[in-house]
Amino acid sequence: MAILDTAFHRASLATPHGDTKAERDRLRARLKVVRSCATVVRHLRLAARRFAPPGLTEFERALVAGAFGDETLDRSLRRLRRAEERIRDLSRDAEQSTRRASSSEELGDVVRACYGRLSSFVREVDPDIERLRSISEFLRHRPHLVPGAPTLVVAGFPNVGKSSLVGRLSSARPKVADYPFTTLSIAVGHADLGFDRLQVVDTPGVLGRAHRANLAEEEATTAVGQAATVVLFVIDPTGTSGYTLEEQEALLARWREEYPSLPIVDVETKSDLARRPTPRLRVSASTGEGLDELWSELRRRLRPTGELPPMQEATVEEEGAGELSDEGADAAAAEPPRRRSRRRD
Ligand SMILES: Nc1nc2c(ncn2[C@@H]2O[C@H](COP(=O)(O)OP(=O)(O)OP(=O)(O)O)[C@@H](O)[C@H]2O)c(=O)[nH]1
Ligand SMILES: [Mg+2]
> For residue 340, what pLDDT band results from cuts at 50, 70 and 90?
low
CA 226–ligand 1 middle distance (angstroms): 25
Give the closest residue (by CA) to ligand 1 atom 32: 270
Specify the amino acid at residue 275. Answer: R
CA separation for the pair 152, 197 (Å, rounded):
11
Spatial distance between the Cα atoms of 130 and 106, rounded to a whole number of angstroms: 36
pLDDT, position 323: 41
User: 3-state class of 151 per DSSP?
Assistant: strand
Distance of CA 140 to the CA centre of its chain: 9
Q: Could you tell which of 159, 165, 200, 232 is best to mutate to test the pocket of ligand 1, judged by most ligand atoms within 8 Å of the CB? A: 159
CA distance 206 to 314: 46
Q: What is the pLDDT of residue 16?
A: 85
State in Å: Cα 161 to ligand 1 middle.
3
Residue type, 94: A
Position with higher pLDDT, 73 vs 337: 73
Where in the chain is CATH 3.40.50.300?
A: 151-307
Percent of the chain with pLDDT over 70: 88
pLDDT for res 305: 62
CATH of 2-140, one of 3.40.50.2300, 1.10.1200.10, 1.20.120.1190, 3.40.50.300: 1.20.120.1190
Cα(202) to ligand 2 centroid in Å equals 7
For the chain, percent of residues with pLDDT exceeding 90: 79
Closest ligand 1 atom, residue 164 Cα: 15
> Is residue 310's pLDDT more than 70?
no
Q: Which CATH number fits domain 151-307: 3.40.50.300, 3.10.20.70, 3.40.50.720, 3.90.226.30?
A: 3.40.50.300
Average pLDDT over residues 124-141: 97
Higher pLDDT: 274 or 46? It is 46
- Residue 285 near ligand 1, beta carbon < 6 Å: yes
Q: What is the DSSP string of 53-114?
A: TT---HHHHHHHHHHH-SSHHHHHHHHHHHHHHHHHHHHHHHHHHHHH--SHHHHHHHHHHH
Residue 329: pLDDT band with limits 50, 70, 90: very low
Q: Taking residues 294-302, what's their average pLDDT?
A: 95
The ligand whose atoms approach the alpha carbon of 241 most closely is 1
Q: Around Cβ 228, how many Cβ atoms within 10 Å?
A: 24
Do 235 and 220 meet the contact criterion of CB atoms below 8 Å apart?
no
**pLDDT of amino acid 146:** 96
Report d(CA 226, CA 61) in Å as an integer.
10
pLDDT value of position 341:
57
Does the CB atom of residue 1 touch ligand 1 within 6 A?
Answer: no
Q: What's the pLDDT score for residue 326?
A: 40
Cα(21) to ligand 1 centroid in Å equals 77
pLDDT in tens, 164-183: 999 999 999 999 999 999 99
The span from the CA of 122 to the CA of 99, in Å, is 25
Q: 332 — phi, psi (to 5°)?
A: -65, -40
User: How confident is residue 276, by pLDDT bands cut at 50, 70 and 90?
Assistant: confident
Q: Is the pTM of this model over 0.75?
A: yes
The pLDDT of residue 209 is 86
By the CB criterion, residues less than 5 angstroms from ion ligand 2 are 163, 182-183
- Rounded CA gap, 345 and 342, in Å? 10
pLDDT higher than threshold 50 for residue 336: no
pLDDT for the residue 1 = 74
The ligand 1 atom at the shortest distance from the C-alpha of residue 178 is 27
Calculate mean pLDDT across residues 314-325: 44
With bands split at pLDDT 50, 70 and 90, how would you rate the model's confidence at 332?
very low
Q: Please give the Cα distance from 169 to 185 (Å, whole number).
A: 18
CB of 154 within 8 A of CB of 162? Answer: yes
CA of 250 to the centre of ligand 2 (A): 20
CB 64, CB 138: distance < 8 Å: yes
- Whether 162 lines ligand 1, by a CB cut-off of 6 Å, is yes
Residue 331: band (very low, low, confident or very high) from pLDDT cuts 50, 70, 90? very low
Question: How far is it, in rounded angstroms, from Cα 39 to Cα 49?
Answer: 15
pLDDT-derived band at 226, boundaries 50, 70, 90: very high
What is the C-alpha to C-alpha distance for residues 280 and 265, in angstroms, rounded to an integer? 9
| Contact (CB, 8 A) for 284 and 265 | no
Helix, strand or coil, per DSSP, at residue 193: coil
CB 236 within 8 A of CB 243: yes
pLDDT at 327: 41
289 lines ligand 1 (CB under 6 A): no
Among 162, 169, 176, 214, which residue has the most ligand 1 atoms within 8 Å of its CB, making it the best to mutate?
176
Across residues 317-328, what is the average pLDDT?
42
**HEC states along 255-267?**
HHHHCCCCCEEEE
In SS3 terms, 289-313 reads as CCHHHHHHHHHHHHCCCCCCCHHHH
- Mean pLDDT for all residues in the chain: 90
